[in-house]
Structure 1
Amino acid sequence: MAHYQRMGDVPPKRHTQHRGPDGELYYEELMGEEGFSSDSSLLYHRHVPSALVDARPWALPEQATTANTPLLPRHLTPHLLFADAAGLVDAEAVAKTDAVTGRRLLLGNADVRIGYVVAGAPSPLYRNATGDECVFVEDGTALVETVFGDLVVGPGDYVVMPRATTHRWVPTGDAPLRLYAIEGNSHIGPPKRYLSRYGQLLEHAPYCERDLRPPTPPHEEEDRDYKADGGFEVYVKHRGSGPGAGGGLAGTVHVLPHHPFDVVGWDGCLYPYAFNVADFEPITGRVHQPPPVHQVFEGHNFVVCNFVPRKVDYHPLAVPVPYYHSNVDSDEVMFYVAGDYEARKGSGIGIGSITLHPGGYPHGPQPQAIEASLGAERFDELAVMVDTFRPLDLGEGGAACDDGAYAWTWAGGRAGG
């Protein structure tokens, strides 16, 4: 995200000596993308950022996937993954679940993994070394502590976390923290068509830099000597192979002698930020607009869109709900966050539902929803959509919460029963 920020104590010129009040030299770290050829930031640490005192394997949550065979549209109900026998939030289990190690993999391919978690406990320090993360806060509030500073987040926030950023999620408030996690194997940022050649968001973009919330200035966490206290553990997700590497991923716990949040200042164009979906300005027209007008972010071989409350098509003969469409090149995943989603009425879809419409399958509104939508002037709906350009497989969480009935709802039921 080429939007320059400067936080804390940095020297007048980069790659020059920078010392503290006691005369001690700070350690400069360049965090950059694409091998020194893209966005970067310079961070100034009190301690050597490369220092390790121990390492051990981390057994990741299950990352293996199974093919969507036979090819079917799916309706997933991820709320039930964290519910008790009565279908209510399992408060005792959630109180022990954190936003990193508790994620359940719903869908994934070689480019992106989509997970869900309901968390009540602080996460460990965490670094995703495989790609950027775009995490949508469905409900609850949290303090996201990072090496750059803190983000205070709540319902409707996207949190975009650059690859290899050390951070942790700390739930706040009384409600459980519900997160929809989109993990890329690439970088995630605004659509290129909305950016100038220098990286500024253009006038026709549905949001601008004013809507992005950078972290607070960095602050030092309490430090200690590892010899006495055992060091600071950072959970690292990274590429792997061989035994224990599910989905081509592996985990390692690095033990550091000093707290990684020892940054006194940083500047640059690479950092985590938050963006609230309420600040997305919807693009509408006289007739139904195609999904790309709802795009908010993109990664390699996938895009993220959001459908927000908006006025709808104003041609006198407009059909406000989507037309039937075949996903020739992509799989479509829709997470229904809030509101009244007109096109899915009669299908069993509700708040918290996730649908998968795979490539090779034509889909669209439930038949009765078309007539019911005629004359509508506004849709009160909120949904997050991920379109991928490789087929998505089912993760263990997705397989566990598939309702098994959605594919037959357009025909009124499955033949033979």
Structure 2
Amino acid sequence: MAYYRRVGNVPPKRHTQHRTDDGGLYYEELMGEEGFSSDSSLLYHREIPSAIVDSQVWEPPDTTTTPNHPLKPRHLKLHDLFDARGAADTDVVTGRRLVLGNGDVRISYVVAGKDSPLYRNALGDEVVYVESGAATVETVFGALEAGAGDYVIIPTSTTHRWLPHGGEPLRAYAIEANSHIAPPKRYLSRYGQLLEHAPYCERDLHGPDEPLLAEGTDVEVYVKHHAGGRIVGTRMVYPTHPFDVVGWDGCLYPYRFSIHDFEPITGRVHQPPPVHQVFEGHNFVVCNFVPRKVDYHPLAIPVPYYHSNVDSDEVMFYCGGDYSARKGSGIDQGSISVHPGGYSHGPQPGAYERSIGVQSVDELAVMVDTFRPLELGEGGLACEDPGYAWTWSGRGPGQ
């Protein structure tokens, strides 16, 4: 995201000598996208950032998937995946359970109470939505504080860790891309500024404010990457702590964005889902559904019309409020609905009629639309409600 920030101690001119108080040199690192041709930042380290003393295999959480075949809509009950009492022994990185995925994006869920190891995703950017709880996210750029309703956007290969706090488990919904994730292009000027019609602006994006300096020797970093055509992990050991950056500047860094700062776009008649979009990656988008006034045409039907996503799978994570279009389906907070391409979907029976005359909705949901079919991860298979597909008709196979 092309929004310049400068934090800590940097030299007046890039790629020039930056000396310590005792006359030594800081080590400049360029972290950039698309081979020096897109957004980047320059970080100034106390020690050589490339130095490692060991590299061993790490087995990341299970990434195997099962096709959605035979094709049908799914209801996944994420709160059934974790016993909250066991959260004290689970962390946000190694405890993730894959719910859905394809070659472009993976969606996982975790309930965690333990500090994560240092972690770096070399496959793509991550967007982690905090459903509840709170955490400090320490990164090589500095620290971020995240709480309920916050997205934490972490660029590819950013070394970081999650430190839950506050007395309750951290419930986190992780969207991992095989690409970069950014605001929708239609909301950006040709130079990258968020435009007046965008539903949020740069004031709503909160990056690190100061460097985070840590000491340590033989420090482990868990790295997720590709090898042999599959997702694998490596545990690298650094002689000194990676959090040794005294300053940085540029347009690439982690940041926090609250779903509550998203300003909904409404209209006289029902608006299509792209008005809810907040981020996009390669072959997928992320959308917010937030409390808002609804359609005000005198003959409006405020709930969504029935629709066929002929080019995409639609995944809705229900994380707060009262989602009126799904009443009677069994969906509640912590649920995911999966409505695949090739299937026409829409409100539950009775919702169409009940919505007439409604002036506002109180709902909170995160939607991911993908442009290639999603498959079910082991977590998705473990928490499926088998009766959801038949809730529109009222009867299932053989009835």
What's the TM-score, normalizing by structure 1?
A: 0.95
* Matching residue of 2:220: 233
Work out whether 1:200 is the aligned partner of 2:219. Answer: no
Work out whether 1:164 is the aligned partner of 2:157. Answer: yes
Matched ranges for 1:1-150 at <5 A:
1-83=1-83, 89=84, 91=85, 93-150=86-143
Residue identity opposite 1:314 in structure 2? Y
Residue aligned with 1:135, SS: strand
Q: Distance in 2 between matches of 1:120 and 1:19?
A: 40
Kindly state the Cα deviation for residue 77 of structure 1 after the two structures are TM-superposed.
0.5
Q: Distance in 2 between matches of 1:122 and 1:413?
A: 46
Work out whether 1:399 is the aligned partner of 2:381. Answer: yes
Aligned-residue CA RMSD in angstroms? 0.7
Q: Distance in 2 between matches of 1:113 and 1:216?
A: 30
* Matching residue of 2:367: 385
What's the TM-score, normalizing by structure 2?
A: 0.99
* Matching residue of 1:217: 210
* Matching residue of 1:179: 172
Residue aligned with 1:411, SS: coil
Work out whether 1:323 is the aligned partner of 2:305. Answer: yes
**Which residue, out of 262, 285, 289, partners 1:303?**
285
Q: Distance in 2 between matches of 1:399 and 1:275?
A: 30
Q: Distance in 2 between matches of 1:147 and 1:416?
A: 57
Residue aligned with 1:343, SS: helix
Residue identity opposite 1:56 in structure 2? Q
* Matching residue of 2:243: 261
Structure 1 segments (4+ residues) deviating >4 Å: none
% identity of equivalent residues: 73
Residue identity opposite 1:168 in structure 2? R
> Can you list the C-alpha shifts for 1:14-61, whole angstroms capped at 9, x where unaligned?
000001111110000000000000000000000000000001000111
Residue identity opposite 2:121 in structure 1? N
Residue aligned with 2:278, SS: strand
Kindly state the Cα deviation for residue 415 of structure 1 after the two structures are TM-superposed.
3.7
Residue identity opposite 1:239 in structure 2? H
* Matching residue of 2:144: 151
Residue identity opposite 2:61 in structure 1? P
Kindly state the Cα deviation for residue 413 of structure 1 after the two structures are TM-superposed.
2.2
Q: Distance in 1 between matches of 2:76 and 2:397?
A: 22
Residue aligned with 2:89, SS: coil
**Which residue, out of 245, 254, 258, partners 1:272?**
254
Work out whether 1:344 is the aligned partner of 2:337. Answer: no
Residue identity opposite 1:236 in structure 2? V
Residue identity opposite 1:97 in structure 2? T
> Can you list the C-alpha shifts for 1:129-166, whole angstroms capped at 9, x where unaligned?
00000000000000000000000010000000000000
Kindly state the Cα deviation for residue 216 of structure 1 after the two structures are TM-superposed.
2.5
Q: Distance in 2 between matches of 1:39 and 1:377?
A: 42
Residue aligned with 1:95, SS: helix
Q: Distance in 2 between matches of 1:387 and 1:182?
A: 12
Residue identity opposite 2:168 in structure 1? A
* Matching residue of 1:227: none
Residue identity opposite 1:179 in structure 2? A
Work out whether 1:414 is the aligned partner of 2:396. Answer: yes
Q: Distance in 1 between matches of 2:130 and 2:216?
A: 30
Kindly state the Cα deviation for residue 215 of structure 1 after the two structures are TM-superposed.
1.1
Q: Distance in 1 between matches of 2:81 and 2:209?
A: 34
Unaligned runs of 5+ in 2: none
Q: Distance in 2 between matches of 1:413 and 1:203?
A: 48
Residue identity opposite 1:145 in structure 2? E
> Can you list the C-alpha shifts for 1:293-312, whole angstroms capped at 9, x where unaligned?
00000000000001000000
> Can you list the C-alpha shifts for 1:320-376, whole angstroms capped at 9, x where unaligned?
000000010000000000000010001010011001000000000012111111100
Residue aligned with 1:410, SS: coil
Residue identity opposite 2:102 in structure 1? N
Q: Distance in 2 between matches of 1:223 and 1:81?
A: 35
> Can you list the C-alpha shifts for 1:50-101, whole angstroms capped at 9, x where unaligned?
0000010001110010100000100000111102xxxxx2x1x210000000
Kindly state the Cα deviation for residue 223 of structure 1 after the two structures are TM-superposed.
3.1
Residue aligned with 1:367, SS: coil
Q: Distance in 2 between matches of 1:310 and 1:355?
A: 21
Q: Distance in 2 between matches of 1:353 and 1:81?
A: 11
